[in-house]
Amino acid sequence: MEIRNIAIIAHVDHGKTSLTDAMMRQTGMIGEGVSMDINALEIERGITIYSKNASIFYPSSNLGRFGPVTKINLVDTPGHADFSSEVERVLRSVDSVLLLVDAQDGPMPQTRFVLKKSLELGLKPIVVINKIDRPAARPNWVYNEVLALFMDLGASDEQINFTTVYTVAKNGIAKLNLNDKSNDLAPLLDTILKEVPVASSDELNQKPFKFQPFNLGYDDFMGRLAIGRIYQGIIKSGSNVFIKKPYSSDFREGKVTKMFSFRGIERQEVGEAGAGDIVMLAGLPDINIGETICTDPSQDALPTINIDEPTISLDFFVNNSPFAGREGKFVTSRQMRERLRKEIEVNVGLKVDFSSNKYFKVYGRGELHIAILLENMRREGYELQVSMPQVIFKEKDGVKLEPFEEVTVDVPSEMMGVVIEKLSKRRGMVIDIKKEENHARIIFEIPTRGFFGYRREFITDTRGEGIIYSQVIGFRPDIGKIEHRVVGSMVSMADGKALGFSLWNLQERGVLYIGAGTKVYEGMVIGNVSKGYDMSVNPTKGKELTNMRARGSDEAIILTPPVELTLEEGLEIMNEDEYLEITPKNVRLRKKILRQTDRARLKRQK
């Protein structure tokens, strides 16, 4: 059976998973209502967080197509920039990509990033212009923009001569021309068989076995699992193998205890697999991404797969607030250590320093990367607190370097001025401006620490009409001091239950994070203050009652709805002297030093 390997790449929310689901549904691999995104967070947010493997078999009688069957291995990749390192690793193991582009939005920042990586690896993409049924769709304009992007990225003549397919992934329809009639994805699947090189052959099967993992999995019974491609040879379950690192003659021995292939979204245990297939190997507890697994120690290792470096760090602490232990099942340092060790088994973009006895320093690719980990932990019953994220500085040839990001904003034209002004104060530099009708797309380059905390301001400044994206573009020389809009914290000075009367008076001083009836403790941050200093308040204070009536004393209390504090927003708005307290049911901000007198004493000492 012939094998083809293909990855689906795109900007976030352009329809990758919808298209993958539709292909599997029409070839009989999954039923109605089943999706590649099975993680609860992915379903809620509508984005792909983890890359996933699947396969379909085509031609399929379900689509009225008959002939020699080909196995098509599909890899669905994340679209968010914080998970871009996963996309890069996947591209090393496939022979072509489906580049999905929204028929209205056109190429977006992540589209450019993933296409650039694909072209550098010599892959010839198949361009899929999706969502052509939208009222504002403009597929011809998008095609021209994609062509211009290929040229801008230095594509070869062969790569520029790409095939274009027009789809409505939601309805499972594909067309080679906009005017064609179609009711299924057969035109897209036929294009894949025509354009994607065959990965398997008898000649490759005769060569010594060579395999390289591009991703890792974990199973409670089998331990670490290596997911990768067999480049040559045949492997059988129970085989003894050698593991080699790139650019090294050293090797270590291991044994493949079990082996799984993919059928649809299910993993299927197999006894043997050959060249070109993407499989999952068990029995190698110390395997890492980019290492070469072979049956002959004299074989050369495959080229290394690089993993992007983290750009931010923060400290994980055991929760020691007055409300500690009330909601969580896992509250100790030992339990947190075990959970983080398990996470780094599969989350290769994450690094953890376990050397301190007081906290664990966690390094990640961005705020969303860390927030996804924290959200998963709180849903599993963990209780903890984290410090303010800090950017990671590097030093090279005596020069201090810091991470920079490319920020793309789509805003109504009349709001351009305030966005440019705010990001320029944060040391952002305008790289490009494109105006179209009543909207403008502006591209900035800005230090990561300058971009911290801006998203909430952006939503306010654009009244919710703007769209903002960012992605790390590398490390550059330290830019020096950066001006931020500083807001103070409204800090509770009492324990108890917040009362509506007290909050009614406080809401004029800033934005509240809590509503009436919320339990509070001394040192808990209940809101922010527009002036840049902290303010100690008593949210538990009630109205003084007397037996005398006075005009105006019985006014109705009208409370403004509080701002719900989410994990991402908490990480963005917290100050250096604060912790974000995370429990299964609540996210709270608190001061590191809870008592007001202790904070005042420390301030005087400084």
Is-contact 604 596, C-beta < 8 A? no
Q: How far does the chain reach from its first CA to its final CA, in angstroms?
A: 73
pLDDT at 464: 81
499-511 pLDDT, tens digit per residue, is 888 898 888 888 8
Instruction: Please indicate, yes or no, whether residues 75 and 151 belong to a single structural domain of this protein.
Output: yes
pLDDT at 566: 87
Determine the average pLDDT of the residues in 2-17.
86
169-184 pLDDT, tens digit per residue, is 889 999 999 988 888 8
Instruction: Please indicate, yes or no, whether residues 151 and 269 belong to a single structural domain of this protein.
Output: no
pLDDT at 513: 92
Whether the upstream peptide bond of residue 59 has omega within 30° of 0, thus cis, is yes
Is-contact 308 364, C-beta < 8 A? no
Rounded-to-integer distance, Cα 113 and Cα 77, Å: 13
Indicate whether 483 belongs to any domain. Answer: no
408 phi-psi bin (left φ>0, alpha ψ -120 to 50, beta other):
beta
Rounded-to-integer distance, Cα 351 and Cα 353, Å: 7
Instruction: Please indicate, yes or no, whether residues 95 and 135 belong to a single structural domain of this protein.
Output: yes
pLDDT at 430: 92
Closest listed residue to residue 415, CA positions, set 466, 450, 451? 466
Task: Using pLDDT thresholds of 50, 70 and 90, give the confidence band for residue 385.
Answer: very high
pLDDT at 299: 86
- Give the count of alpha carbons within 13 A of 129, CB side only: 28
- Of 341 and 35, the structure prediction assigns the larger pLDDT to 341
Rounded-to-integer distance, Cα 340 and Cα 360, Å: 9
Instruction: Please indicate, yes or no, whether residues 386 and 406 belong to a single structural domain of this protein.
Output: no
Rounded-to-integer distance, Cα 77 and Cα 52, Å: 7
Is-contact 45 134, C-beta < 8 A? no
Maximum distance among all alpha carbons in the chain? 99
Which of the listed residues 391, 423, 441 is the one where a domain comes to its end?
A: 391
Residue 306 clears pLDDT 80, i.e. is over it: no
Instruction: Please indicate, yes or no, whether residues 271 and 385 belong to a single structural domain of this protein.
Output: no
In 233-294, where do the E strands start and end? 235-236, 240-244, 251-255, 258-263, 266-269, 272-273, 278-282, 292-294
Instruction: Please indicate, yes or no, whether residues 98 and 128 belong to a single structural domain of this protein.
Output: yes
Indicate whether 301 belongs to any domain. Answer: no
* Residue keyed to tokens 């100790």: 332
Instruction: Please indicate, yes or no, whether residues 7 and 71 belong to a single structural domain of this protein.
Output: yes
pLDDT at 286: 87
Residue 82 clears pLDDT 90, i.e. is over it: no
Instruction: Please indicate, yes or no, whether residues 129 and 85 belong to a single structural domain of this protein.
Output: yes
Q: How many other CB atoms are there within 10 angstroms of residue 130's CB atom?
A: 28
Closest listed residue to residue 463, CA positions, set 414, 509, 427? 414
pLDDT at 482: 83
- Rounded to 5 degrees, φ, ψ at 564 are -75, 125
Instruction: Please indicate, yes or no, whether residues 173 and 222 belong to a single structural domain of this protein.
Output: no
Closest listed residue to residue 513, CA positions, set 537, 532, 533? 537
Q: How many other CB atoms are there within 10 angstroms of residue 66's CB atom?
A: 9
Q: Is 62 helix (H, G, I), strand (E, B) or coil?
A: helix
**C-alpha angle with apex 289: 283 to 290, nearest 5 degrees?**
115
Question: What angle, 0 to 180 degrees and rounded to 10, lies between the N-to-C axes of helices 416-425 and 454-461?
Answer: 160
Indicate whether 396 belongs to any domain. Answer: no
Determine the average pLDDT of the residues in 245-263.
87
Task: Using pLDDT thresholds of 50, 70 and 90, give the confidence band for residue 112.
Answer: confident
- What mean pLDDT is reported for the chain? 87
Residue 322 clears pLDDT 90, i.e. is over it: yes
Residue 606 clears pLDDT 80, i.e. is over it: no
CA 80 to chain centre: 5
Rounded-to-integer distance, Cα 394 and Cα 588, Å: 32
Size (the chain), residues: 606
Instruction: Please indicate, yes or no, whether residues 105 and 226 belong to a single structural domain of this protein.
Output: no
224-238 pLDDT, tens digit per residue, is 899 999 999 999 999
pLDDT at 210: 92
Question: What pTM was estimated for this model as a whole?
Answer: 0.83
Amino acid at position 148, single letter? A
Determine the average pLDDT of the residues in 473-481.
86
Indicate whether 306 belongs to any domain. Answer: no
Domain, as residue range, for 597: 488-605
Indicate whether 503 belongs to any domain. Answer: yes
Indicate whether 510 belongs to any domain. Answer: yes
Closest listed residue to residue 128, CA positions, set 20, 3, 56? 20
**C-alpha angle with apex 295: 289 to 300, nearest 5 degrees?**
65
> Of the ranges 3-17, 46-60, 311-325, 561-575, which is most confident?
311-325
Q: How many other CB atoms are there within 10 angstroms of residue 60's CB atom?
A: 17
Burial class (CB in 10 A: 0-12, 13-18, 19+), 550: exposed
Instruction: Please indicate, yes or no, whether residues 250 and 374 belong to a single structural domain of this protein.
Output: no
Determine the average pLDDT of the residues in 283-297.
88
pLDDT at 61: 66
Rounded-to-integer distance, Cα 7 and Cα 78, Å: 11
Query: What letters, b where the CB count within 10 A reaches 16 and e where it falls short, cover 567-606?
Result: bbbbbbbbbeebbbbbbbeebbbbbbbbebeebeeeeeee
Is-contact 471 405, C-beta < 8 A? yes
Determine how β-strand 360-364 pairs with β-strand 351-353. Answer: antiparallel
Rounded-to-integer distance, Cα 465 and Cα 183, Å: 35
Cross-strand partners of 293 = 211, 243
* Residue keyed to tokens 């493949």: 256
Percentage of the chain beyond pLDDT 70 is: 96
507-562 pLDDT, tens digit per residue, is 888 889 998 889 999 999 999 887 778 889 999 988 777 666 655 555 677 888 88
Rounded-to-integer distance, Cα 583 and Cα 566, Å: 12
Q: What is the CATH number of the domain that holds 285?
A: 2.40.30.10
Q: How many other CB atoms are there within 10 angstroms of residue 564's CB atom?
A: 10
pLDDT at 164: 94
Indicate whether 408 belongs to any domain. Answer: yes
198-211 pLDDT, tens digit per residue, is 988 889 999 999 99
Amino acid at position 458, single letter? F
Which of the listed residues 368, 391, 414 is the one where a domain comes to its end?
A: 391
- Rounded to 5 degrees, φ, ψ at 486 are -95, 130
Instruction: Please indicate, yes or no, whether residues 534 and 580 belong to a single structural domain of this protein.
Output: yes
Q: Alpha-carbon dihedral of residues 470, 475, 479, 482, nearest 10 degrees?
A: 40
113-166 pLDDT, tens digit per residue, is 888 888 988 999 999 999 999 998 999 999 999 999 999 988 999 999 999 999
Task: Using pLDDT thresholds of 50, 70 and 90, give the confidence band for residue 62.
Answer: low
Indicate whether 302 belongs to any domain. Answer: no
Q: What's the total number of domains in the chain?
A: 5
Task: Using pLDDT thresholds of 50, 70 and 90, give the confidence band for residue 63.
Answer: low
